Amino acid sequence: MRSIRLVSTSSIDWTGFDAIYMFNPFDEQVLNPVVANIEKSLKGEPRKIYVLYLKALHRSVFDKSQYFKVFKQTERYVIFESR
């Protein structure tokens, strides 16, 4: 059985997680480096991670990423999965 740990941290420190929950936290200008940081983490430590993005106004940042694909989407949210 896997344990779940909730962490509230700066987006700069988003490394080593298996799942990330976001409720439209940033504009596109801020989200770009956040996603780049997550990609860097995946490149250094390849693994399966999920990003649950509610009210995904800037989902294009993830859509353009070579590290993520859509796992599931509805009108309210998108779940991205690392490739």
**Strand order through the sheet with 68-73:** 19-23, 50-54, 77-82, 68-73
What is the distance between the alpha carbons of residues 73 and 32, in angstroms, rounded to a whole number? 21
The model's pLDDT over 12-25, given as tens digits with 9 standing for 90+, comes to 666 667 888 888 87
pTM confidence score:
0.84
**Cβ density class 33-57: b for 16+ within 10 Å, e for less:** ebbeebeebbeeeeeebbbbbeebe
Q: Residue 80: name the closest of 58, 11, 69, 64 by CA.
A: 69
Q: Which CATH code fits 16-82? A: 3.30.1370
The model's pLDDT over 57-82, given as tens digits with 9 standing for 90+, comes to 999 999 999 999 999 999 999 999 99
